[in-house]
Structure 1
Amino acid sequence: MEDLNKQKRAVLGLRIVYPLWAIIGIINLLYIPSQLIDKSNPALTAENILNNEWLFRVGIAGSLFTQLISIIAVWFLYRLFYDSFKEPVILTALFNFLGVPITMLSVAKQLEVLDVLDKPDQVIALLNQQTYGTVIATIFWGLWLLPQAYMVMKSPLFPKIMGWFLILAGIGYTLSAFLYFLGFKDSLLMEILDTLTMGEVIWMLWVLIMGARWKALEHH
Structure 2
Amino acid sequence: MNVRTPKNDTPRSAAIASGVSLLVMAAAAAYSYGFVHDRLIVPDDSAATAANLGTFSALFRTGILGWLLIIVCDVIAAWGLYRFFESVNRSLSLLSGWMRLAYTAILGIAVAFLALALLSAEHMTPNDALAAESIWLSLRVFDFVWSVGLVIFGLHLWITGMLIFQAPTAPRWVGVLLQAAALSYLGVHLYKIAVPEMSLWFSTLKAVLSVPMALGELSLAFWLLLKGGRAAPQPSSIPSDSANAELKASESAS
TM-score, length basis structure 1: 0.88
Aligned residues: 218
Residue number in structure 2 paired with 1:128: 140
Deviations 1:92-123 (A, max 9, x none): 11211211121111111112213432322222
Residue number in structure 1 paired with 2:167: 155
* 1:175 and 2:192 correspond: no
Deviations 1:39-72 (A, max 9, x none): 3332222222112212212212221221121110
Residue number in structure 2 paired with 1:57: 61
Q: In structure 1, how many angstroms separate the alpha carbons of the residues matched to 2:222 and 2:155?
A: 20
Q: In structure 1, how many angstroms separate the alpha carbons of the residues matched to 2:80 and 2:233?
A: 19
Structure 1 residues 189 and 35 mapped into 2: Cα distance closer, same or farther (>3 Å)? closer
Q: In structure 2, how many angstroms separate the alpha carbons of the residues matched to 1:175 and 1:35?
A: 26
* 1:142 and 2:146 correspond: no
Q: In structure 2, how many angstroms separate the alpha carbons of the residues matched to 1:85 and 1:185?
A: 39
Q: Shift in Å at residue 142 of structure 1?
A: 0.5
Q: In structure 1, how many angstroms separate the alpha carbons of the residues matched to 2:146 and 2:34?
A: 14
In structure 1, stretches of 5+ residues that fail to align are: none
Residue number in structure 2 paired with 1:205: 222
Asked if the contact 2:60–2:118 (Cα under 8 Å) also holds between the matched residues in 1, the reply is no
- When the two chains are superposed, the root-mean-square deviation of aligned CA atoms in Å is 2.2
The alignment-based identity, stated in percent, is 20
> Secondary structure in 1 aligned to 2:120?
coil
In structure 2, stretches of 5+ residues that fail to align are: 125-130, 236-254
| Structure showing greater Rg | 2
Letter matched to residue 102 of structure 2: L
Q: Shift in Å at residue 171 of structure 1?
A: 1.1
Structure 1 residues 113 and 182 mapped into 2: Cα distance closer, same or farther (>3 Å)? same
TM-score, length basis structure 2: 0.77
Q: Shift in Å at residue 162 of structure 1?
A: 0.4
Superposed counterparts of 1:12-51, under 5 Å: 12-51=16-55
